[in-house]
Amino acid sequence: MKIAILGGCGFIGSNLCIYLNKRLKRANIISIDNISGNGSKFNLKRLKEKKIKNFKRNLSKQNVFKNIGKVSLFINCCSDPAVENSKKYINEVINNNFLSTLNMLNHSIKYNSDIIYFSTSRVYSIKSINKLIKDKNVKKKITINKKISEKFDTSAIRSIYGSTKYFSEDLIKEFSYLYNLKYIINRCGIVTGPWQFGKKEQGLFSFWMKKHIKGEPIKFIGYGGNGNQIRDALHINDLNELILKQILNINNIKNLTLNVGGGLKNKISLKDLTKKCEKISNNVCKKSKIKFTSNYDIPYYVTDIKMVKKLYKWIPKKNINIILKDIYKWMINNKNLINKF
């Protein structure tokens, strides 16, 4: 059984490669990644240490799977995940996020490959999410416990990034209908944990912890600069366990779109995240406010994980405190590496 992980040198992809290589003894785990990400070369070294082969190729090119041969399962983790950057680099984001999906599907129909696709919570309508919060500047603590399910509005503007992922979802469904391919689509919120380098464009929780470890200034951006925006977080280890369950059950549980995240128990505001980072790092950073809100930003996102919990008897084990402590411990033990980002 050959499992090809697309974007296998990224944060999620590299962790999945190593986890599945350990758990699925009879599987041949390969990575396909062009090593363009800032942290990719470090993750590539980790894969080499585990004797996991990476094919250095551009996934948006038509000949990307030349000489790869039969693939039993594709796990597609590749994307340009920075929502704000998708405003500036539209063609690049479309190539990396959509054409890579098309190329994967064209190879899948040759060998009837199964597909696990990593989509995003950003497929949901910005306008509809904004309507959940009546206070435009979010001056007070958000007290609603609304969870966003798979049925939430996807009909309106999502961002260029969100649209490339949503269009990819539709393309997978079309190919599945035409060629009887089995798939699972996971709409992920924020996934975090060790080996996330804490870049501004991706990885809020690791980025925030890194700022506190270094004692650098932090900015509360958007919605009045009050830091009341809310997100939920999922530990990479919990995600790995879910993907293994999906692989083992794909013949029975298939052709579904699922919301995957930390859920209501792992939600936190930016202001409260700051307090926890201060406590764990024993550092208090200088704070400033930027009131301007990007037209791509959202004030709130908490994943409804009811469906995925029921189907797979899965629940996130690591709460927000454990997640942040794991990030802190890893960063402290890898300071020389973290300082390069």
Going by C-alpha positions, the residue among 324, 80, 86 that lies closest to residue 211 is 324
Q: What is the pLDDT of residues 94-129, one digit of tens each?
A: 999 999 999 999 999 999 999 999 999 999 999 999
pTM of the model: 0.96
What pLDDT does residue 89 have? 87
Low-confidence ranges of the chain (pLDDT < 70): none
SS3 label, residue 71: coil
Q: What is the pLDDT of residues 312-333, one digit of tens each?
A: 999 999 999 999 999 999 999 9
Spatial separation of the C-alpha atoms in residues 108 and 179, rounded to whole Å: 9
Cα dihedral across residues 40, 41, 43, 49: positive or negative: positive
Under 8 Å CB-to-CB from 140, ≥6 apart: which residues? 228
Q: For 226-244, give the DSSP string.
A: ----EEEEEEHHHHHHHHH
What pLDDT does residue 90 have? 92
What pLDDT does residue 178 have? 98
What pLDDT does residue 136 have? 84
What pLDDT does residue 337 have? 86
